[in-house]
Chains A and B, each alone.
Chain A
Amino acid sequence: MTVTSYVRDITDTVKSVFEGMSITFSHLARRPMTIQYPDKIPVPIQETLPLRYRGILEVDMDICTGCLACERDCPITCITIGIEMDKETKQRQFTHFDIDVCKCMYCGLCSEACPTGAIRHSQEFEGASYNPAGLVRHFVPQPQPLYKPKKGGETEPKLVAKVDIGLKYLDEFATPDGGGGVEEK
């Protein structure tokens, strides 16, 4: 070890320590980027998430046609749908539509497959539950009939808004004919 390398070691160390300490000191004057969730924030986080955000699944049963596309496309079989023929009205109706939220891997394949946008990912992400039963979401409290989409658009006023929400959600996906939310939001 020569004298020059010895002295250079010392000066390099002092210079780099000086530089490093000036950087960390300068951070004392910068705004911390912590978002103090959930109480010290101006708006709830859920409202700041984009529409595409893949949170916990929700189903709008009023516009679900019972095509079972989501159940088929789910790669992890977390959706269970039961459809039966009602003896009196001769209509098909849902008996159960269960989504096992802890199996779901939030991939979005079910919502892409849905023709009406009934099943979609919400902005909800806090799914913790105190018991395992709470982790399976049941969307059919009592048997309800399937939705039949009308040709030429929906006319019943209660369902128009729901159909619009579903279609707006489906617009987010890219399609081979150039769609997919290219317009500036």
Chain B
Amino acid sequence: MNETVQEQGPGFFAEEMTISVGPQHPSTHGVLRFVVKTDGEVINEAIPDVGYLHRSIEKIGEKVTWHGYVPYTDRADYLAAMFANQAFCLAAEKLAGTEVTRRGEFCRVIACELNRIASHLISVGTFGQDIGAMTPFVHALRERETINNLMEEICGARLTYNYIRIGGVGYDIVPGTCSRIVEFLDHFEPIVDEFNRLLSGNKIFIERLAGVAVVSKEDALSYNLVGPNLRGSGIKWDIRRDIPYSIYPELDFEVPVGTAQVGVLGDSFDRYWVRICELQESCKILRQCLKMMPKGPAIAKVPRKFRPPVGERYARVEAPRGDMGFYVVSDGSEYPYRVRIRTGSFTAMAIIDKLSKGIMVADLIALIGSLDVDAPEIDR
């Protein structure tokens, strides 16, 4: 154990402790470890140590068929499984030149936005739990249970969906489910307001987060942050708007950005507030999709033995944790040659060391929660 003695004044010495936050820790959002050098309260250095949840998903891509790999993509980030499915299927469709049916696109967007709501609910709920408020966490999970029930009706599974397939979706959404989604949205939008009144408006919560771990615009760009972390620093960049895919160009929604409403632009509260606003935007998108949904087949004709031509493609989607990208290389056989997953949480780990100099241990927990890092995404 390295314990360096620092001089803090004439004749006054303090020892620096090296403590390990994790890998078994109630609030590091999965199996993460930080080696923290602190003098008791103020952190001098926090070095992330990742790899505890590595399951070699990318290597598995070389061993299973294109269709068979889609369930594995669910596990790349199990809280936002639809998006990984969609990114991989987009990349495969780009390679083969498959056109997704229109109804299939609408089904995809509905499922993805429901999943976005579920993922953000977990994110803000666990964030509140880390700060100490245990009730909003359970309220968020209560709403997520309804979403899980809806996903169960749509595709039969509650967490790892294997719903979005190459060429469309695996199961069609029946009108009964559509009306239940609308019921859920009618119930959910006042609940978000209540959640804000309980947690976001709480002065103690605001004081914990205002001005903590500020990420400036330059830092956000140079450290390659994505998603709500980037938008919380004031940069309006959303893949759905700027590199549009699927039917997003036809939908009307805002891209929320941080506005320094309680502290400094780019602090933890801004990132949290962007997620809350995205919850409300997803509700808007869902309502539009449910109104505009056309009739037709939900999946295009794709051969059972999918053999895309030789080539490489990169597809990116706006996942709840940022820009998730799949780079696939095909050698013409029915197994991919290489699958590479790029996730937002992995790059967010890089900025933790820079931000954690000079903050307290409690703020480190708030920082990790506000960046919404997710261990399965980091380690894949």
A–B direct touch in complex (beta carbons closer than 8 A)? yes
- Cα distance, A52 to B171, chains bound together (Å): 9
Q: Does B155 contact A (CB under 8 A)?
A: yes
Residues of A within 8 A of B198 (CB): 19-20, 23-24
Q: Does B10 contact A (CB under 8 A)?
A: no
Partner of A106, one of B152, B157, B169: B157
- Cα distance, A173 to B168, chains bound together (Å): 12
- Cα distance, A121 to B155, chains bound together (Å): 12
Q: Does A174 lie within 8 Å of B71, measured CB to CB? A: no
Sample of 26 A–B contacts (CB below 8 Å):
A16-B201, A23-B197, A24-B135, A33-B142, A49-B152, A50-B153, A52-B171, A53-B156, A54-B156, A73-B68, A75-B69, A106-B157, A108-B156, A108-B157, A109-B68, A109-B71, A112-B170, A113-B304, A121-B156, A173-B170, A174-B171, A174-B299, A176-B297, A176-B299, A177-B297, A183-B174
Q: Does A54 lie within 8 Å of B157, measured CB to CB? A: yes
- A110-156 residues with Cβ-Cβ distance < 8 A to B are 112-113, 121
Q: Which residue of B lies closest to A182 (CB)?
A: B172
Shortest 10 CB-CB distances between A and B: which pairs? A75-B68, A107-B71, A180-B172, A174-B298, A52-B156, A54-B156, A176-B301, A13-B203, A178-B297, A107-B162
Residues of A within 8 A of B64 (CB): 75-76
Q: Does A164 contact B (CB under 8 A)?
A: no
Residues of A within 8 A of B (CB): 9, 12-13, 15-17, 19-20, 23-24, 27, 33, 49-50, 52-54, 73-76, 105-109, 112-113, 121, 172-185
Q: Does B194 contact A (CB under 8 A)?
A: yes
Besides A17-B203, A174-B168, 10 new A-B residue pairs in contact (Cβ under 8 A), listed by A number: A50-B153, A53-B157, A75-B71, A105-B71, A105-B160, A107-B162, A174-B169, A176-B302, A179-B297, A182-B175
Contact flag A174-B172 (CB < 8 Å), given A16-B201, A24-B135: yes
- Cα distance, A182 to B300, chains bound together (Å): 16
Residues of B within 8 A of A180 (CB): 171-172, 297-299
Contact flag A20-B202 (CB < 8 Å), given A173-B170, A183-B174: yes
